[in-house]
Amino acid sequence: MIKKEVIVKTSIKYTEPKSTGVYARGAKYWVKVTTEEEEPGRGCVHCARCVEACTHNLNDPESGYGVFTMEMVYYDIEGNRVKAGEDDEIHLIEKILWINPDECCNCKRCVKMCPQRAIKVYKNPDYHDIGVEFTDSTVINNCLMRANGESTVSSAHLGLQKSKLSSDWLIDAAEILSPQRDHLHEYAGKFDNMFLGKRKAKFKCETPIFDVHMSYGSNSHEAFLARLMASIKLGRPFFTGEGYLHPDMMPAAKYCILQFGSGGYGPWVELDKFAGISMKYGQDAKKGKGGRLQAKKNDIEIALLRCVEALRDLTSPNPQHLQYSIEELPMRVESLRALLGDEKLIGADVYGTAWNFTEIVVALAKAGFDYITIKAGDGSTGAAHYVDLQNKGLNVVYLTHIADLALRKEGLREQVSIISEGGVLDSFHAFLVLLAGADFVGMGMRTLHPLGCTLCQRCHTGQCAWGITSRQYGDRIDPEIASEYIVNMIKSFQKDMEGLAAGLGMSSHADVVGARRFRYHGNDPLLFQTFGIEDFEKQVSNVAIRERNHKVFKTYDMIYRENEGLINECLSKIEGDFLKIDVQVSEIDSRTLNLIMKMAVERGVKRFYLDNVVGQRLIGTGVKCEEITVRGLVGNHSFAFVRDVKINVIPNHSTKTTIPANVQVGVANTSNPKEINIAGDVSDLFAAYAVSGKFRVAKSGGVRNLLLMKAGLPREWAELDLSKYEYYEKNDILEELLIKYQKRKSLCSKMSWEQFLETFEKRLNERKPPVAIYGVGYEKGMGDYFMEYAQGGIGIVLNVVDMDNPMGYYICSGMTAGAAYIRGNIKESQLGVGVKKIDYLTEEDKKFLENEIIEFLDYFLNVDIDEEYNKKLRMFAERFYNNKEDIFSDFHKIIPVSSRDSDSPFS
């Protein structure tokens, strides 16, 4: 019971260190809160705003408190401690503000939110002032951290030296015959009429400064939305990062360029609604390594969006497995062009630390990419290991310069755009990069500063107090207001750049790109050798555009004109909704066949029968139909990105030599089919990144089959209809984005963050994971790396020919979710990292396998594959129907070691 006259006493206390000795390194930053006695009128009033503002607590993240904690202690008249609400009368209330400076990361949220300005955060001398010049506190504390077994993961900008763009550069003044212009009152230095892409695929831009790829999930919903809205307002493309685009933001798809990273996250539907796709081949902050999203950040909503299992670590492989060599790049561009058409952009993101960087850039341009994004040495990331963050690559000006010269030398510069990013801090740096040869410049961290980012290096923890990288606290950002802040900053930078251009006597963006009107006078030997010693032509002359005859450069209009008679002859054979196309081995090439199928769909065709196929690629890619039957050998990257289609591949016995129903590399990658039935062998990377559907293979698989298999397509993506947004204007889209956000915010305000996430659980459980089932042929077994990095889905190997050991090595290596059911002997040495083998099946497992085996047999028993296999399959079927338990007893189940306790993927 609280007495009417109660004394309130306040105090500020610091938590005691948990240990003593050398491993008690102390706080990196010291937090000082001024008391009322120390500074009357400006001291702490114990309002607890700092407690609410701070979210950082690495040692106990579930506590709900960060650096600050407010404790209320109650005393009776005799000074005894009592509990509030008891019968004892409360005479004294002591409010104690506890401070744990060990958790402080200098994000400054508490400083900015304190109404009294009573909080100061500064470097702790006891932490920093140790060691000698060559082995200072950074080195010593790093060693102690590692010796103590602490995490070696950190976040943005942990480099050991300042950006090489920060000083030592001078931009030329205007020459006497090219006097300075006044950009405020004359048409001078205007950055307008700019296009990303220089061929048929183009995106008109109103600013040369772009945002960079940062994924949904690495950013909170609000931070991501603010950046998206800012890009729309600024008239520039928005780069989504590797986490796809949230359904609420899909009205803006035509302004967005998706990133296909090595993890391949997302539903991969409605792709023709986007402005393009960017292939991620590297990020300079990670030096060619794949990314990793920790389980705690992979919440239910993120799992729905990325089509993976929730609360599991997400690991992306280091290389892009869909192409292993420079020679395969055109094939990937060809596949994406078949998917997107001629008017959508296809880009490549590359990092600039490879010794053969210029050769890589030229190869990408020759492969047909519309733009190349150079990820330079000061580029950062939201999560990487210390050693990667400290290991900076080459300077962005240097990389842009050598890339531009290499492309000019090859006559490619007017066929591809360059975006350069990495450590660009302000308008001067951005202008410098354009002078070096870039068409556009990217700013990543700079975009986050208007949202509150103070580079506190806690992105990877999900504890960002400003709500940028912590989804739980994202509501601290108002997307509409925040987007205006970003717009104002970029417009101010652009105005600076226009002034610099006018000062050089330049009129337009095109005058600036590659002008090289600068000089370097610093101490970096590479930069001084390149830009400081010898003079070079100020505006490097363009080399004549060389004719590129590679088919990847041909538009569909060109293909139609070259093959008009053949195409019209094929289309004349349409019968209702059915079309049979006789490819005649080599009479119809891959892209022409793809065009015929697309044109047939426009005329109402839903079912195709392709005869005498021998290696044609791209079959079905970008073709919206119901069924495709192929008789013969299917070429690389066919059936990629297909959705809701039934596909059958059968052998061709009508020729002198039977053409087997085999498929080549990368077939059915990133797909959502109803079902795909292959009456033969499949090669490498079959059904890689597959999101949903049934995949049946009569015989064996190649290397890395079912790589990164996902966990199923959510209903909200299956039912998504974007047709009404096709003709929306910019303001209509912005209004639609805000309406959808307000609905989300209203729902969030009625419940806790955990309760909000639980609203998605039903949709997560409704998904049907993809299933792939292999029979295995007598010629060979399965390849290595089966179901590597799988993030859901189920693989089954029946081994109908009863091989003693049908599998290769590294089975399910890196799998985070899903399961493999394999019949036959498996050695422990064949298993990959992070999985275990179980030698029994549950009743639920058996019921599932029974249904899948029956469907497999029902289909392939009716196909004449070859005499030997037909015989083996009939024997297996007879044995299965006579004694299912005998078949089941030969199965082993492979699951992740972190899987749920029940050992069942269905639990």
Spell out the residues 6+ positions from residue 86 whose beta carbon is closer than 8 angstroms to its own.
1
Among the listed ranges 114-123, 162-171, 707-716, which one has the minimum average pLDDT value? 162-171
Contact between 422 and 443 (Cβ < 8 Å):
no
Amino acid identity at 785: Y
Residue 733 pLDDT exceeds 50: yes
Query: Residue 141 — pLDDT band, cuts 50, 70, 90?
Result: confident
Task: Say yes or no to pLDDT of 87 above 80.
Answer: no
Kindly state the tokens that stand for 335: 């596949």
Query: Rounded distance, CA 20 to CA 34, Å?
Result: 27
Alpha helices in 803-891 (DSSP H): 843-860, 867-882, 884-888
**What is the pLDDT averaged over residues 775-779?**
96
DSSP tag of 663 = B
pLDDT of residue 543: 65
Residue 70 DSSP SS3: strand
φ, ψ of residue 292 to 5 degrees: the values are -150, 125
CA 200-209-249 angle, to 5 degrees, is: 75
Per the prediction, the chain carries an average pLDDT of 91
Lowest mean pLDDT among 158-172, 306-320, 483-497: 158-172
Can you tell me which residue has the tokens 């302004």?
255
**289: how many CB neighbours lie within 10 A of its CB?**
18
pLDDT of residue 89: 82
What is the C-alpha separation between 77 and 820, in angstroms, rounded? Answer: 69
Where do the domains of the chain lie? 2-150, 169-531, 577-715+769-896, 722-765
- CA distance linking residue 226 with residue 49, whole number of Å: 25
What does the alpha-carbon distance between residue 712 and residue 541 come to, in Å, rounded to a whole number?
52
The pLDDT confidence band at residue 147, using thresholds 50, 70 and 90, is: confident
- pLDDT of 905 reads 43
CATH number of 169-531: 3.20.20.70
Q: Cβ distance 704 to 321 under 8 Å?
A: yes
Please say whether the beta carbons of 422 and 376 come within 8 A.
Answer: yes
pLDDT at 532 over 80: yes
Nearest by Cα to 651 from 677, 618, 680: 680
Q: Is the model more confident about 35 or about 724?
A: 35
Interatomic CA distance for residues 257 and 846, integer angstroms: 44
Q: For residue 811, what is the DSSP state?
A: B
Q: How remote is the C-alpha of 703 from its chain's centroid? A: 24
Cβ contact 232:734 at 8 Å = yes
Share of the chain above pLDDT 70, in %: 95
Write down the pLDDT at residue 818: 95
Q: What per-residue string of b and e applies to 151-169 under the rule 16 or more CB within 10 Å gives b?
A: eeebbbbbbeeebbbeebb
Query: Does residue 865 surpass a pLDDT of 90?
Result: yes
- Selection from 343, 214, 180, 185 nearest residue 285 by Cα: 214
Q: Take residue 45 and report the two structure tokens written for it.
A: 């009033």
Give start and end residues of each alpha helix (H) in 156-279: 221-234
Helix (H, G, I), strand (E, B) or coil at 712: coil
Residue-wise pLDDT tens digits, 423-442? 898 999 999 999 999 999 99
Average the pLDDT over each of 179-183, 657-661, 808-812 and give the range with the smallest value. 179-183
DSSP for 538-583, written as a single string: SSPPPPPPPP--SGGG--HHHHHHHTHHHHHHHHTT-BTTEEEEEE
C-alpha to C-alpha distances, 856 to 499, 705, 805, 877, nearest whole angstrom: 69, 18, 21, 10
Inform me whether the pLDDT recorded for 725 exceeds 50. Answer: yes
Does position 900 have pLDDT exceeding 70, yes or no?
Answer: no
Q: What is the DSSP letter of 174?
A: P
The H or E element containing residue 209 is strand 209-210
Backbone angles phi, psi at 295, to 5 degrees: -55, -40
pLDDT at residue 540, as a whole number = 61
The band of 297, judged by pLDDT with boundaries at 50, 70 and 90, is: confident
CA distance 672 to 402: 41
Instruction: Read off the tokens for 580.
Output: 């049979």
- Find the Cα–Cα–Cα–Cα dihedral 131, 137, 140, 144, rounded to 10°: 130
Question: What's the pLDDT score for residue 902?
Answer: 39
Question: Using CA of residue 890, residue 675, residue 760, residue 61, what is the dihedral sign?
Answer: positive
Task: State the burial class of residue 561 (Cβ atoms within 10 Å of its Cβ: 0-12, 13-18, 19+).
Answer: exposed
Percent of the chain whose pLDDT exceeds 90:
70
Q: Give me 136's structure tokens.
A: 């200072």
Question: 502 with 494: CB under 8 angstroms?
Answer: no
The phi and psi torsions of 475 (rounded to 5 degrees) equal: -70, -5
Provide the pLDDT for residue 175: 67
Who contacts 54 (Cβ-Cβ below 8 Å, separation ≥6)?
A: 65, 66, 67, 68, 109, 110, 465
Question: Which residue type, as a one-letter code, is found at position 725?
Answer: Y
- What is the 8-class DSSP label of residue 300? H
Q: What is each CA distance from 95 to 13, 99, 630, 775, in whole angstroms?
A: 10, 13, 77, 71
Task: Please report the pLDDT score of residue 898 as a whole number.
Answer: 65
Q: Which fold has domain 577-715+769-896?
A: Pectate Lyase C-like (2.160.20)
Residue 680 to residue 660: CA distance in whole angstroms? 6
pLDDT of residue 631: 97
Instruction: Report pLDDT for 2.
Output: 55
In SS3 terms, 754-771 reads as HHHHHCCHHHHHHCCCCE
Buried b (16+ CB within 10 A) or exposed e, 376-408: bbbbbbbbbbeebbebbbbbbbbbbbbbbbbbb
pLDDT of residue 904: 43
Tell me what pLDDT residue 591 has: 95
In the predicted structure, residue 899 carries a pLDDT above the cut 50: no
pLDDT tens digits for 97-117? 999 999 999 999 999 999 999
